[in-house]
Amino acid sequence: MAWIKKLFPLNVFEILLKTSGKLPYLRFKVSKGAPATQFKFLKNSSFTDEVSRQTLVFHLEGALLKSYSQFPYLMLVAFEAGGLFRAVILLLLYPLAWLLGHELGLRLLVFVSFAGIKKDKFRAGTAILPKFFLEDVGVIGFDMVSKYKRKVAVTGMPRIMVECFLRDYLGTDAIIARELKEFHGYFLGLMEEKMDAAPVINQEMTTHNIGLGCSRKSHNQKFLSHCKEIYMVTEAEKNTWQVLPRKRYVKQLIFHDGRLAFRPTPLKALAMFIWLPFGFLVHIIRIMVFTSLPYKFSIPLLAFSGMINTVSKVESPVSSVKSAEKRRGVLYVCNHRTLLDPVYIAIALMKSVSAVTYSLSRFSEVISPIKTVRLTRNRVKDGGLMTKMLSKGDLVVCPEGTTCREPYLLRFSPLFAELTDEIVPVAIKLKVSMFYGSTASGIKSLDSTFHLMNPNPSCLIVILNKLPIWQTHNAGGKTKFEVANHVQGQIATALGFECTDLTRKHKYMILAGNEGIM
């Protein structure tokens, strides 16, 4: 306590101690309307409750996110919006940026990440970065920020990177951040020299502003000069923070895009670039093994290569149905996680199946180890095509119509319920550590490549009971919508997922700005 008394007048410290009994934070409060000029530091997670007439001005990297580093988010921009070569350059220049200091180093990294990128094509700020920001939010920081109805965020990153996250997923009223300069619709990679906080803060100001910053000197704390009461978060405090759980998100994250499945810190990014040539070789070997060898040989070899497949069957495998007139196959209805879902089901069943899908490139169709046919989105044509394929054998269909990475199921198209009563729901849960094998705005022909380049992709497949006759459309009298919703509910229950009414159009409008028509 001695150092606190030296830094702050004794009478101020004693007044705070006497009025509160126990300091929720070590803080400095200034009366008579003067701006605060000294700071005290956050000690624990409690915070003032007198917030109805106050505005919180907080530092994004210092007071909300667990990590101070801005490099991972710039690496995501470089890799997803600029490509592999730009990402390599960014990583190579990181040591130089560190030596230049925070401000100059940040400007260098921003320049490498953004220079030459077309502004109207840039969607990383809305489709990719919010996921990684949310996964870096600390519970205590979130609790402090969410207590205030009016919030102003301050960040050193360009506005275009953070605006969607702060407004849509945090409910921030205003953002103090620098704009990127552009020329003829292309980013120059240069940030504005200064960001003036006064106009924004004065517009949101009520009786007085509360400032929430960080103890690091490298971060700009000038915005705190507009605050009457200031709290500072120490590094020791942030090290104890837990990540904000998904159930506490202000807005649920259902859709996100991009190839990287991990937060690319400098060391993790270096590991990824080292792995890439080996990963590409492994992906070729995995394709050759599955396409050229019988299941009893290919499955152990795939497991040896790092692919982990877990199969759970509620009952014995369903056999195809024979009637007096004709023989029809079984329709396996599954949720959609990646282009390889039908392949995983074939591995689980240890037999060949056919598949239909909406999003299939010519390249993927050629290299597919099972028969795969593209649908046209014409109900009459697609229904006839699937009926024909069922007459020849078992068929896999993904009625969501597009992939979803998060623990949600999109609305199931009811077309499958009209085709047959031999319906077996299949639940699929996928886990990857490095790359996502799906994209809304990228090159779809590389989906299977990226998925198979993961060091240890794992897939859980749960084969559920065949629908009883009374739960079907043709023989059971259920409507096709009732059947579709029932199957969706069964799969969601098996995986612990949540059902939604969202569709492919919703996903592509959010992530790519179009309706997803290829």
pLDDT digits (tens, 9 = 90+) for 327-342: 678 999 999 999 899 9
Lowest average pLDDT, out of 73-87, 88-102, 311-325, goes to: 311-325
> What is the C-alpha separation between 187 and 182, in angstroms, rounded?
4
Express each pLDDT in 486-508 by its tens digit: 999 999 999 999 999 999 999 99
Query: How do beta strands 458-463 and 423-431 pair?
Result: antiparallel
Please tell me which residue, 204 or 459, carries the higher pLDDT value. 459
The span from the CA of 261 to the CA of 269, in Å, is 11
For the record, the structure tokens of 267 come out as 């060391």
- The rounded distance, in Å, linking the Cα atoms of 160 and 164 is 8
Q: Can you give the pLDDT at residue 205?
A: 55
Q: How far apart are CA 58 and CA 153, in angstroms?
A: 5
Q: What is the pLDDT of residue 11?
A: 39
What's the pLDDT score for residue 52?
A: 55
* Residue 188 burial class via C-beta count within 10 angstroms: exposed 0-12, middle 13-18, buried 19 and up: middle
Tell which residue, 39, 426, 504, has the closest CA to residue 231. 39
Q: CA neighbours within 13 Å on the CB side: how many for 290?
A: 24
Q: b or e along 27-56 (b: 16 or more beta carbons within 10 Å of the residue's beta carbon)?
A: bbebeeeeebeebbbbbebebbeeeeebbb
The yes-or-no verdict on residue 375 having pLDDT over 90 is no
In three-state secondary structure terms, 369 is coil
Q: Which of 28-42, 88-102, 302-316 shows the lowest mean pLDDT across its residues?
A: 28-42
Question: In whole angstroms, what is the distance from residue 61 CA to residue 475 CA?
Answer: 59
* Tens digits of residue pLDDT in 429-450: 999 999 999 999 888 889 999 9
Give the number of residues written for the chain: 518
Q: For position 199, what pLDDT does the model report?
A: 61
Unique residue bearing structure tokens 């490498």 = 112
Name the band, by pLDDT with cuts 50, 70 and 90, for residue 208. Answer: low
Q: Which of 383, 60, 345 is nearest to 219 (CA)?
A: 60
Q: What is the tens place of the pLDDT at every residue in 125-139?
A: 999 999 999 999 999
Percent of the chain surpassing pLDDT 90 = 57
Give me the half-sphere count of Cα atoms (radius 13 Å) on the Cβ side of residue 395. 26
Q: Which of 260, 193, 202 is nearest to 220 (CA)?
A: 193
Average pLDDT over residues 199-225: 66
| Residue 12: predicted pLDDT | 34
pLDDT score of 159 more than 80: yes
Residue 75, burial from CB neighbour count under 10 angstroms (0-12, 13-18, 19+): buried
Q: Average pLDDT for residues 151-162, to the nearest whole number?
A: 93
123 Cβ contact partners less than 8 Å away, ≥ 6 residues apart: 257, 441, 511, 512, 513
**In 241-378, which residue ranges form alpha helices assigned H by DSSP?**
266-292, 295-304, 341-349, 362-367
Confidence of residue 158 (pLDDT cuts 50, 70, 90): very high
Position 33 scores a pLDDT of 45
Structure confidence by residue, pLDDT tens digits, 32-89: 444 444 445 554 444 555 565 688 889 999 889 999 899 999 999 999 999 999 999 9
Neighbours of 113 (CB within 10 A): 27
Task: Tell me the average pLDDT across 303-330.
Answer: 70
- Which pLDDT belongs to residue 149? 84
Gap between the Cα atoms of 173 and 56, Å rounded: 10
**How confident is residue 390, by pLDDT bands cut at 50, 70 and 90?**
very high
Query: Is the model's pLDDT at 354 over the cut of 50?
Result: yes
Amino acid at 227: C
- Band the pLDDT of 2: cuts 50, 70, 90: very low
Portion of the chain with pLDDT greater than 70, in percent: 81
pLDDT given for residue 292 in this prediction? 87
Residue 318: the pLDDT is 52
H/E stretch holding 181: strand 180-183
Under a CB-based contact definition with an 8 Å cutoff, are residues 261 and 434 in contact? yes
Window from 162-166, 408-412, 427-431, 445-449 with minimum mean pLDDT: 445-449
CA nearest neighbour of 60 among 160, 147, 132, 166: 166
Structure letter (DSSP) for residue 25 = S
Mean pLDDT over each residue of the chain, to the nearest integer: 84
**Cα separation of 401 and 504, whole Å?**
6
Give the pLDDT confidence score for residue 514 in this predicted structure. 73
Taking 80 as the threshold, does the pLDDT of residue 289 lie above it? yes
Mean pLDDT of 351-374: 80
Q: What is the pLDDT of residue 147?
A: 86
pLDDT digits (tens, 9 = 90+) for 217-243: 655 566 677 777 888 888 888 888 999
Structure tokens at 189: 């990679």
